[in-house]
Amino acid sequence: MTLLTPDRAGGRPSPGTDPAPGLAPLTTELGILFGGDYNPEQWDPAVWREDVRLMRQAGVNLVTVGVFSWSRYEPQPGVRDFAWMDEVLDLLHAHGIAVDLATPTASPPPWLGNLHPETLPVDADGVRLGWGSRNQFSPASRVYREHALAITRDLVERYAEHPAVRMWHVGNEFGQVCHGEESAVAFRGWLRERYGSLTALNEAWGTSVWSQHYGRWEEITPPRRAPYHLNPTQVLDFRRYSSDALRSLFREQRDLIREIDPVRPVTTNFMGFFALVDYWSWAEDLDVVADDAYPDPTDPHAASTSALTHDLMRSLGRGRPWVLMEQAAGAVSWRPHNLTKSPGRSRLESLQAVARGADAICFFQWRAATKGPERFHSAMLPHAGPETRAHQGVRRLGADLARLRPVVGSRVGARVAILFDWPSWWASQGEALPTDRLDALAQLRSWYRPLWEDGVAVDVARPGQDLSGYDVVLAPQLYLLTEPAADTLREHVARGGTLVLGPFGGVADESAHVRTGRFPALLRDVVGVSGEEWVSLPDDGAEVVWAAAAPGRPGSFRAEVLGELLRSEGAEVLASFRGGHLDGAPAITRHRRPGSGAAWYVGTVPPQDALADVLRQAIAEAGVEGAAPAVRLPGVEVVRRGDALFVLNHGRGTARVRVEDLLPGSSVPPRHPGSEVVDLLTGLPPAAGEVVLAADDAVVLIERNS
């Protein structure tokens, strides 16, 4: 089959994409990777044999092994038992199943905590956490690190040449924080690096407030339980330090792996918008970005929330294909009340990840556990065995993914970037702000949603990164904004790009000090509007009235959470507050100057429909369209990835879409002589020029030479 090169906008790679291979050798050989975590240490060898047989039948071609095997490999300090893993790897290899082999460092054996209590993490209350669960280590613990490296070295030396092993997986879901003594020492070292002197640290931390001046490094501790509000810069720096401490732990194991095996890719599993780790700072450290995705089935916006997270993963890898390392086939067991999902929904969620750049679809876990805390977590193979609805769904998915081989390695092109920054998020989660209701992540998701609904491709971008090549940049919540990051926004608009800046943006510098003067201090000339007060709104909000010719529906809306006392300095006022403290103040503005682009300012939290109106207009004025602009059906997601157009029905009812609306000019007569549109999942052209999608169903359309 020959794929035609698309000539539509959206088929080109996003700006800044990196052609480095990552997953490519493996996916070129195997197609889309499909499988899950496999924990053979929980089962008798007889079960392993059944496992590999059933894996083959389900189309599994990759499993992650050994994530929690440390106490099995090293039952007593220094003792090694790898014989069982030899057998597991040989067996998997004999059945053609590739292995993502994990370093087992996420859960040290009980003997480590028992012999070396200093390896255990301490919380902000000074409580040392115990073993009997998992993750019980302090990232700063020298003894933990030595033991982790020792077992990693032996593991990697033993298996680097094993033909089953195709990828390395370091630890699991890095996210540990420790406030103990060894962490205090490490934190001080980190602060010395950052500030060089106590004078600089005292200045950055604003220790002239509340008599906090530090005279000796030894006086500095991680933030711990204290009588009242903590120093916000100390808290912010501790979050930075904690992310860096985990990063150094990851890199230490990765470097050791690379020393022994310079060939196979090394990864670890991220957790979406996870609060404790700045994934931007880690992204370059991974050969392949991998993510664990557990959308909340009760979230009415789960589909767009997941799409955004997938876009983050693709963006972290600069456009390269990524791995969906874990997801649930049905219910998880770690929420208080665990709703399940149907096999159809599970399939749809998997296809959505592929649409957004994943080349590997994996689950936690292969076989449902019968013991331990996760015995009620769903799995690819349920307790009741293979003749179950869930497992048959898994098989169907395996077959579907095999048919998607033509999309492997292809890219998603985006002309819109949405900015997200961990330090700014951390700072905005701090204490003693005008409001604790301005949730940066919730803002990001609300701003993303109309774009998702319209099929507009979006990359997530790190403030300060090169934005050239994007037509539209959205900055929903950038409380903390550095000068270099502000410069990239200024340059973007000067180049003719569109910027939409949200409320409470550019308020603070990297030390979380408030910038003086009218705000947004660094971007006032760009947005053509400036403010003097942030105003938390009462519970029933505040009225905002659209100006004539503004993007919203006629009339007014009630803004929520926060408003700003703004005045225009050249921007058109599109909506203003009416009544109350902010009476007459601009709420939404647009600044257009000859020779440059448009800078929109949204100085409040509008309700979703009003926000969507603003963003849609900004995007339309910038000339950016969705993947299929004629298609706007509730719950129907349209994504172009390379030559393929994914249409996914997240809605509850059947959706019908004309092929002509999805791929204009592709029906009769064909756009290219001899070409036809087919659905890769069925291999068939859509009947009667129409795609009919039941709830949870999807098509993956391509044009091919017939």
CB of 292 to ligand GAL, least distance (A): 5
Phi then psi dihedrals of residue 197, to 5 deg = -140, 160
Q: Rounded to whole angstroms, how far apart are CA atoms 326 and 363?
A: 4
Binder to ligand GAL among 100, 244, 326, 453 (CB under 6 A)? 326
When asked if residue 453 is in the footprint of ligand GAL (CB under 6 A), the reply is no
When asked if residue 249 is in the footprint of ligand GAL (CB under 6 A), the reply is no
When asked if residue 363 is in the footprint of ligand GAL (CB under 6 A), the reply is no
Identified catalytic residue from 74, 182, 326, 453:
326
Q: Give whichever of 175 and 413 is closer to ligand GAL, judged by the CB atom.
A: 175
- For residue 139, the Cα-to-chain-centroid distance in whole angstroms is 23
Cβ atoms 382, 55 nearer than 8 A = no
Q: Rounded to whole angstroms, how far apart are CA atoms 88 and 82?
A: 10
Q: Give whichever of 38 and 187 is closer to ligand GAL, judged by the CB atom.
A: 38
Window 551 to 610, contacts with ligand GAL (CB under 6 A): none
Q: Give whichever of 159 and 364 is closer to ligand GAL, judged by the CB atom.
A: 364
Binder to ligand GAL among 145, 347, 377, 449 (CB under 6 A)? 377
When asked if residue 292 is in the footprint of ligand GAL (CB under 6 A), the reply is yes
Q: Which residues 6+ apart lie within 8 Å of 19 measured at CB?
A: none
Stretch that binds ligand GAL, among 324-332, 355-363, 475-483, 637-645 (CB under 6 A): 324-332
**Please, what is the Cα angle at 704 between 702 and 706, to 5 degrees?**
140
| Active site annotation includes 173 | yes
CB of 104 to ligand GAL, least distance (A): 12
Stretch that binds ligand GAL, among 86-94, 120-128, 156-164, 328-336 (CB under 6 A): 328-336
Provide the phi-psi class of 66: left if phi over 0, else alpha when psi is between -120 and 50, else beta. Answer: left
CB of 101 to ligand GAL, least distance (A): 15
Look-up of token digits 């036809």: 676
Print the SS3 string covering 90-106.
HHHHHCCCEEEEECCCC
CB of 111 to ligand GAL, least distance (A): 22
When asked if residue 341 is in the footprint of ligand GAL (CB under 6 A), the reply is no
When asked if residue 471 is in the footprint of ligand GAL (CB under 6 A), the reply is no
Q: Give whichever of 173 and 349 is closer to ligand GAL, judged by the CB atom.
A: 173
CB of 134 to ligand GAL, least distance (A): 8
Q: Give whichever of 173 and 613 is closer to ligand GAL, judged by the CB atom.
A: 173
* Structure-block tokens of residue 422: 């961990």
CB of 369 to ligand GAL, least distance (A): 10
Q: Give whichever of 283 and 331 is closer to ligand GAL, judged by the CB atom.
A: 331
When asked if residue 173 is in the footprint of ligand GAL (CB under 6 A), the reply is yes
When asked if residue 172 is in the footprint of ligand GAL (CB under 6 A), the reply is yes
CB of 676 to ligand GAL, least distance (A): 42
Structure letter (DSSP) for residue 36 = E
Identified catalytic residue from 173, 560, 572, 637:
173
Stretch that binds ligand GAL, among 9-17, 158-166, 327-335, 673-681 (CB under 6 A): 327-335
Q: Rounded to whole angstroms, how far apart are CA atoms 559 and 537?
A: 8
Binder to ligand GAL among 332, 368, 467, 663 (CB under 6 A)? 332
When asked if residue 256 is in the footprint of ligand GAL (CB under 6 A), the reply is no
Residue nearest to ligand GAL (CB): 364
Count, residues near ligand GAL per rule CB under 6 A: 11
Q: Give whichever of 217 and 334 is closer to ligand GAL, judged by the CB atom.
A: 334
Q: Which helix (H) or strand (E) holds 325?
A: strand 322-326
3-state class (DSSP) for residue 216: coil
Q: Rounded to whole angstroms, how far apart are CA atoms 348 and 697?
A: 6
When asked if residue 329 is in the footprint of ligand GAL (CB under 6 A), the reply is no
CB of 266 to ligand GAL, least distance (A): 17
Q: Give whichever of 182 and 292 is closer to ligand GAL, judged by the CB atom.
A: 292
CB of 313 to ligand GAL, least distance (A): 15
3-state class (DSSP) for residue 344: helix
Q: Which residues pair with 35 in a beta bridge?
A: 62, 362
The beta-carbon contacts of 486-495 under 8 Å, at least 24 apart in sequence, are 486/522, 486/523, 488/463, 488/464, 489/523, 489/526, 490/523, 490/526, 491/467, 492/467, 492/468, 492/597, 493/526, 493/596, 493/597, 493/598, 493/599, 494/596, 494/597, 495/468, 495/596, 495/597
Q: Which residues pair with 658 in a beta bridge?
A: 690
Q: Rounded to whole angstroms, how far apart are CA atoms 375 and 362?
A: 19
CB of 634 to ligand GAL, least distance (A): 29
Q: Rounded to whole angstroms, how far apart are CA atoms 382 and 105?
A: 27
3-state class (DSSP) for residue 367: strand
Closest CA to 535 of 485, 581, 495, 600: 581
Q: Which helix (H) or strand (E) holds 237?
A: helix 232-260
Closest CA to 232 of 265, 194, 199, 206: 206
Binder to ligand GAL among 282, 363, 364, 600 (CB under 6 A)? 364
When asked if residue 291 is in the footprint of ligand GAL (CB under 6 A), the reply is no
List residues near ligand GAL by CB under 6 A: 172-173, 292, 294, 326, 328, 332, 334, 364, 374, 377
Catalytic center residues: 173, 326
